[in-house]
């Protein structure tokens, strides 16, 4: 995953301030795809529209580009599962399930992603990471 810059961390902290009581994602995310603020802080900015409530994130940099296609909304939940599966403090069985889910969602994203999608390399990198971690966390 990528390291947060100070500016991104500050932006996430401000945006997540209103979520402190619920620690849940924006309502348009199905219940199984919710993420804790600490997980959202590890996501790339283009995932914030799915996980951070508020008009401030209406800017295009905070959502997956439309050029990627409508099915790419599965990529950010895949990254959340990848974050969870990478957490060595969680039970191995939970990590295995998270990594299985991450790999499945990334494959789905790649299957339907439009060829000119600007986040293609990020999706490919997530696929490699999920598949590699699945081999380690058995």
Tens of pLDDT, residue by residue over 12-32, are 444 444 443 333 434 455 666
With a cut of 60, say whether residue 91 has pLDDT above it: yes
* SS3 label, residue 23: coil
Whether residue 52 sits in one domain with residue 105: no
Phi and psi at 38, nearest 5°, equal -65, -30
What length does the chain have? 138
| Degrees, nearest 5: CA angle 81-120-115 | 130
User: What is the rounded distance in angstroms from the CA atom of residue 66 to the CA atom of residue 69?
Assistant: 6
- Identify whether the C-beta of residue 72 lies closer than 8 Å to the C-beta of residue 120: no
Tens of pLDDT, residue by residue over 96-126, are 999 999 999 999 999 999 989 999 999 999 9
Whether residue 83 sits in one domain with residue 112: yes
What is the number of domains present in the chain?
2
In this prediction, residues 82-105 reach a mean pLDDT of 96
For position 28, what pLDDT does the model report?
Answer: 56
Whether residue 42 sits in one domain with residue 11: yes
Whether residue 82 sits in one domain with residue 70: yes
Whether residue 107 sits in one domain with residue 75: yes
pLDDT tier at 63 (50, 70, 90 boundaries)? confident
* The model's pTM: 0.76
Within a domain: 108:
yes
* SS3 label, residue 58: helix
With a cut of 80, say whether residue 2 has pLDDT above it: no
Whether residue 113 sits in one domain with residue 128: yes
User: What is the rounded distance in angstroms from the CA atom of residue 130 to the CA atom of residue 134?
Assistant: 6
In this prediction, residues 49-74 reach a mean pLDDT of 80
With a cut of 70, say whether residue 78 has pLDDT above it: yes
Structure tokens at 26: 């924006």
């Amino acid at each position: 995953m990528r390291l947060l810059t100070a500016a991104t961390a500050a932006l996430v902290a401000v945006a997540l301030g209103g979520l402190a009581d619920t620690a849940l994602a924006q309502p348009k995310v199905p219940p199984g795809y919710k993420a804790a603020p600490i997980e959202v802080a590890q996501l790339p900015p283009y995932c914030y529209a799915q996980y951070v409530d508020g008009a401030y994130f209406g800017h295009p940099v905070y959502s997956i580009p439309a050029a990627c296609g409508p099915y790419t909304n599965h990529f950010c939940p895949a990254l959340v599962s990848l974050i969870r599966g990478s957490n060595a403090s969680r039970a191995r069985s939970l990590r295995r399930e998270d990594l299985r889910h991450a790999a499945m969602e990334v494959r789905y994203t790649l299957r339907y992603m439009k060829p000119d999608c600007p986040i293609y390399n990020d999706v490919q990198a997530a696929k490699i990471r999920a598949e590699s971690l699945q081999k380690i966390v058995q």
